[in-house]
Amino acid sequence: MARVARGKVKGHIVELEPGATLPDGAIVTVRLSSKESWLKHAGVWADWKDVDTVVQEIYQARTTKIEGPDM
């Protein structure tokens, strides 16, 4: 079973929370939470010439007030 050690990233170093200890030389794997997974796709967006238009359309669709009997 895997152990969980939490901490905070500062530059290239992960500082563990107090009480979370690992032995010197321990090999670890850092898994990012799902809300950060979009970062791996950020480079694809950089080359998309219409990205600003698409983002604006999404923003408008989500912020447009919808009026109706149940609103």
Give 22-54 pLDDT, tens digit per residue.
Answer: 888 888 887 766 665 555 666 666 777 788 888
Question: Does residue 17 lie in a domain region?
Answer: no
Q: What percent of the chain has pLDDT over 70?
A: 68
pLDDT of residue 39: 58
Pair of tokens at residue 22: 């690992």
Residues 6+ apart with CB under 8 A from 30: 14
Pair of tokens at residue 10: 């500062």
Question: Does residue 59 lie in a domain region?
Answer: yes
Question: Does residue 70 lie in a domain region?
Answer: no
Domain total for the chain? 1
Which runs of E-coded beta strand occur in 1-71? 7-10, 13-16
Phi and psi torsions of 65, nearest 5°:
-75, 125
Question: Does residue 47 lie in a domain region?
Answer: yes
Residues 6+ apart with CB under 8 A from 66: none
Question: Does residue 27 lie in a domain region?
Answer: no
**Which residue, 34, 33, 35, 28, is CA-closest to 2?**
28
